[in-house]
A and B are shown apart, each in its own frame.
Chain A
Amino acid sequence: MKDFEYQTATTVDEAVSLLAARGERARVLTGGTDLIVQLREGLREADLVVDIKKIPELMELSYSPRSGLKLGAAVPCYRIYDDPEISRAYAALADSARIIGGWQIQSRASIGGNLCNSSPAADSIPSLIVYDVICHLAGPQGRRTVRVADFCTAPGRNVLGRGEILATLEFPPIKKNSGASYLRFIPRNEMDIAVVGAASWLQLDAAGERIEKARVALAAVAPTPLPLTAVSEWLVGKPATSETFAAAGDMASLAVKPISDKRGTVEYRKHLSGVLTKRTLVIAADRARGASAPAH
């Protein structure tokens, strides 16, 4: 690996000014589970690496039913699933955090890094989309917010400008009678990149019978993580039954336009999109009715 300069920032302003001064030649380091591999393999180059894990705001993880969840961009995955209250409230986020790599990866890897790496197959992004997360960015021009569905722009690309970092992810408070789930398909049991990933979020009526609101998003079927807007809208007002969820799965299969690569063909990915959409909707509905999240 080519050598680089290493700096630790302790405030957001310090990180931003270090990064802004070097532009493209500077990279942010959180868990390093993407960045170190990319630098070592020559996929990316950097003259300066700015470690942001010492910035308190970026390591904050706080939850209250009233204000929702604030997830600092550098918080490693294990802190999410280790917190029983957060894993119960934001079960799809915990589903994602538990399957990003193995335990060694989860000790380091952050959800912020997963989002900023902006892979179309990233396991956390569909969950962030269905929770309608707000990304708080900080840059040389100050702070701004972006909806997570608008964050990724192309494989490995996103809306971050020169010197700009992701500071926190804001999850809205959990709605009554709502539930969510994330599943991915891989040929192994663990430790692989999603052939397809799906997240679903549902809000049901008080009886748990009719869908009031829905959001579905998929990974690895488009150049960026894909919100399935038409399917989500179609679900509203429908009964929360297996027939409805199967029909939504069929719609998802038709709605996606994936590519063929070494992980799967177009046909296979379309099929998986349907299956995973249906299954995550079933789990989301169960969770909305009060079933607690399974261990994983």
Chain B
Amino acid sequence: MAKKIHVTSTINGEPIEFLCDARQSLLEVLRDTLDFTGAKEGCNNGNCGACTVLLDGLPVDSCLVLGVEVEGAKITTIEGIAREAHLHPIQQCFLEDAALQCGICTPGFIMSTKALLDSNPNPSEHEIRFQLSGNLCRCTGYDKIIRAVQDSAKALSAGVERGGTKATQPDGRRAAKKQPQAR
């Protein structure tokens, strides 16, 4: 067995150090070593998006990233998006719109939605479906998820209180893929 590798990165704003084997995925490290069990394992091969986290602001399947690859990187997981006792507006909208049944896909959908709305605050339905195509849901049939994303977009851009939640400012910065002119 090769020696464990020491990795330093920032997770949800906190500097974190961990030891891992080269073969361990970021998902395994998050769940098994660091106890961030919000990211889920669905397929473990990049197809379902249940393990989605943000890596330097971009959505990635954490099952397809090695733990050792995140040296020096900034990671945001579902645990990092609520502000103190308040759910993030996207979480609140998924809840109120009943955009989940078993909930396995939900953390992944919420992280992809956050990445989408950070880069494109007012996406069309088509853009939402295209950008979230890397996230699968076996329960809801997607329509309620799409509605929750649309409501999240409204809540965030209005910056209003919704269900007692103050909308947070978007942070990750990149141009939206569907709006090449907005750069």
Contact = CB atoms under 8 A, between A and B. Distances in A.
B115 interface: yes
Q: How large is the interface on A (under 10, 10 to 19, 20 to 34, 35 or more residues)?
A: 35 or more
Interface in A56-90: 78, 81-84, 87-88
Interface residues of B, number: 42
Contact of B59 (A6, A40, A104, A296): A104
A58 to B, nearest CB: 15
Contacts of A5: 2, 22
Nearest to B54: A107
Interface in B45-93: 45-47, 49, 52, 55, 58-61, 63-66, 68-69
A2 B58 contact: no
Contact of B69 (A33, A51, A83, A296): A51
B177 A81 contact: yes
A15 B179 CA distance: 37
A87 B179 CA distance: 11
B6 to A, nearest CB: 12
Nearest to A53: B69
Contacts of B66: 6, 29, 32, 36, 49
A5 B115 CA distance: 32
Contacts of A104: 46, 49, 52, 59-61, 64, 112, 134
Nearest to A189: B133
A233 interface: no
A104 B135 CA distance: 9
Contacts of B58: 78, 107
Contact of B22 (A3, A101, A189): A3
B151 interface: no
A1 interface: yes
Contact of B21 (A3, A32, A33, A40): A3
Contacts, number: 111
Interface string A1-34: 1111110000000000000000000000101110
A4 B22 contact: yes
Contacts of B160: none
Contacts of B144: none
Contact of B1 (A3, A6, A191): A3
A114 B101 CA distance: 36
Contacts of B61: 104-105
Contact of A105 (B44, B46, B55): B46
B45 A40 contact: yes
A34 to B, nearest CB: 9
Given A39-B23, A102-B135, A32 B130 contact: no
Given A3-B1, A104-B112, A108-B60, A32 B181 contact: no
Contact of B64 (A4, A37, A88): A37
A98 interface: yes
A207 interface: no
B113 to A, nearest CB: 11
Nearest to B176: A82
A101 B1 contact: no
Contacts of B134: 101-105, 190-191
Contact of B46 (A53, A87, A101, A295): A101
B2 A36 contact: no
A4 B23 contact: yes
A261 B115 CA distance: 37
B65 A108 contact: yes
Counting from the closest, the 8 A-B pairs by CB-CB distance are: A102-B134, A190-B133, A6-B22, A84-B180, A107-B58, A1-B23, A104-B134, A104-B61
28 contacts: A1-B23, A3-B1, A3-B2, A4-B2, A4-B22, A4-B23, A6-B68, A36-B25, A39-B23, A40-B44, A40-B45, A51-B69, A78-B174, A82-B175, A82-B180, A82-B183, A84-B183, A102-B135, A103-B112, A104-B46, A104-B61, A105-B46, A105-B61, A107-B58, A107-B59, A190-B130, A295-B178, A295-B179
Given A37-B64, A84-B175, A189-B130, 9 more contacts: A4-B22, A31-B64, A32-B64, A33-B64, A84-B180, A103-B116, A103-B132, A104-B52, A189-B129
